[in-house]
Structure 1
Amino acid sequence: MDFRRLKYYRHNSLILVTSGDRQILSAIAQVLAAEKYNFITETSGEKAWEIILQKKPAIVIADWTIPDVSGLALCHRSKSNLEHPELMAIYFVLIVEDANSQQRQIGLDTGVDEFLNDPIDSSELKARLRTGLRLTALTQSLTWTNQRLLAHNDLLDALSLSDSLTKVLSEQAFADAMPKMMMQLKGFGTYKSYRFLSVLIVDIDLFKSIVDSYGEKIGNEAINAISGRLSHSCMANSLIYRHGLDEFVCVTPHGDAASGTQLSQNLLTSIRSHPIAVSSGLLFPLTISIGGVVTALENQNQQIPELSFDELVSLAEQYLLQAQKSGGDRDYIEIFE
């Protein structure tokens, strides 16, 4: 291990020494002070346990013969504590009688990491501390590495939810969310006073002709520009997903049904209001078509069957086709109350 890192751990790691024998405490404290370790001494086993819980020392040096709670019991509490699993990493040194093999065997079975003979030998103590410090530092280093790996994996998971081109939620994220979408949105509505849900599918009109005429790069720039306008024009609580090559899905909870239809009109206006610019200097006066449904999150009309999210998406796709067949640059929205 790097010497500078070990030196850092030496001065910043807490050592707890607990024994009912004040001579033992004094002998160990003299060595720790001379070596400039950060340490606490305690004569009570119960108070030592409170220190372990509160301060989580890196090393505990505990006497087998503490009157109220023995060092062996403290080790067992630490190594088998499911409520505080971080205590299992404490390097536990048990002070035993010299040449008492039975104490050592019981200690090993309990989870003791190292033993220190009584009477205390300063050279032996220093060796135990160096070993404990190295292993503690290594354990913490591995823990930090694992945490960084977990954070990295979380980042990769988050990136997989985002479409690489448009930065809106990906098509895969939409597929993953579909089975549980209605349940989540209904729960969301109970404390946000949302009573309706709009599902809008947006398609870029005549997009294939742009790709055929100007190539995939220009087509991607146009898609990216449109996704930016849609994101800007949607509501703050909208979920926008990529849906195929040139389609997007906008899922939004609302307080009333009219807000869902108004959102669709806002999206149409955001695209038709001015041409889409791309890096080559070209301007495309693009438009979009929208098919959508606005439905009550809680079905109050028992005569109308409650629709699943898959069914809402399927209806929105049908209504999108009607908007496109009517010439595009328009929406076709059905409201289910």
Structure 2
Amino acid sequence: MRYIVIGAGAVGGAIGARLHQGGHDVLLVARGAHLAALRADGLRFVTPEGAETLRIPATGGPVPARADDVLILATKSQDTVAALDGWSRDLPVVCAQNGVANEREVLRRFPDVYGMCVWLPAQHLEPGVVAAYAQPCTGMLHVGRYPQGVDDRTEQIVADLGKHGLAARATPDVMRWKHGKLLGNLGNAVEALVGHPDGMADLAERARAEARAVLDRAGIPYSTPEEEAAVRGHQVDVRPITGVSRGGGSSWQSLARGSGSIETDYLNGEIVLLGRLHGVPTPVNEVLRREADRCAREKLPPASMPLETLNALIDERCAAGSR
């Protein structure tokens, strides 16, 4: 197979790097300064073991399809539709993305869609550079056909991912695992907005408790932290990288890059949507979604809001909802 990684940022760049190191044919899809750096100097892939420059082919857009191509979509969720424009609709698409809305959106256009639940702590802030912080495996990836099941292609993708530096599992109920990951990702907006002051973890847990009530009302199954810990073990432990400081997660990085957009509509916003559909109030996630989106539009840096201010906005929204 040739793996075409659309969105060669933190997660996509790390997956593409490990597939390339495993001897697979890889094409990275990027844009702007990142694409220029990849073409000129290659991908500088930095891990706790050291740094390596990988000469992986890169393009800015669709290329003629081959029969053995697999698209790995690693963009932010808000970019899903635009990122797939121009690619052959006959190709299988693996959604290596946070959130749970991408697979359904892609299935409108592509008949063969796979979900990927990604546990892969990585950072992309500088053109041409991706840092991945976990050992002994760079990431653990659950892969399954959407909406359910495992097929021969799933098994081949999992085998290829597992050849070098990644742990991968064929998972028939992949969307259950992605809903579990969604619960964990609800704290991304908190981190992006306020950083890591005392009390931020409590606010993130309020968002998750609200979300669990929504998912339970909707009858949507999700993996638990205990299940995730048992599967992950110590295969994806975060380690420091000499000379490379670790900032924050994907939403934090969106604000740090000043990208102008953020994926919160598909994380906290997913809970808000489900809450509205099933009659469950979601004031915590509603404020987190709104404020993260505002900060992205205004290109504010991460941690630009005091935690006290954010808590006050949430309390105000809760009070308004109770009247």
User: Normalised by the size of structure 2, how large is the TM-score?
Assistant: 0.23
Q: Give 1 or 2: higher helix fraction.
A: 1
Report the TM-score when normalising by structure 1. 0.22
Larger radius of gyration: 1
